[in-house]
Amino acid sequence: MRPYDDVDSFFNRFFDNFLNNRGFYRSRVDANMYETEDAFVYEFALPGVDKKDIQIDVEGDMLHVRVADKSTKKSSGQGYSGISEQYFGFEARYSLPQDADKDNISAKYENGLLTVSVPKLHPTKKLKGKSIKIQ
């Protein structure tokens, strides 16, 4: 343990709380990735996010998913008025497999679940076993 670990920890917690109380916060998004016979599928839980705030790009062999959302809430009452803002950001990059069909990627956003489907160039065919004769 370094002599200043406790001090570092204190200031990290302080600034995390300071930023969180002003509407900035770190985001954690639940993601699920799996492979089917003819596609690679990426799912992201993004409840409450508007579809217009989601951006999906392919850059080289990378799938890039970004979300930037800012919500503003105005409130007023007798003798006061206020505005509170909250920011949500998420960014993820995934290396696409070699057999990914980058030209035919599709995405669907429904009920807070973003599903990105990356078709395979050559869907895996189930091959029957075969014996090889040695010559």
94-116 pLDDT, tens digit each: 999 999 999 999 999 999 999 99
Taking residue 106's Cβ as centre, other Cβ atoms within 10 Å add up to: 11
20-33 pLDDT, tens digit each: 443 444 456 889 99
32-82 pLDDT, tens digit each: 999 999 999 999 998 888 899 999 999 999 999 998 876 666 777 777 777
List domains and CATH numbers for the chain. 27-65+91-119 (2.60.40.790)
The residue among 37 and 18 whose pLDDT is bigger is 37
pLDDT for residue 35: 94
Instruction: For tokens 């890039």, name the residue.
Output: 64
pLDDT for residue 20: 42
Per-residue pLDDT at 84 exceeds 80: no
pTM comes to 0.63
As a residue count, the chain comes to 135
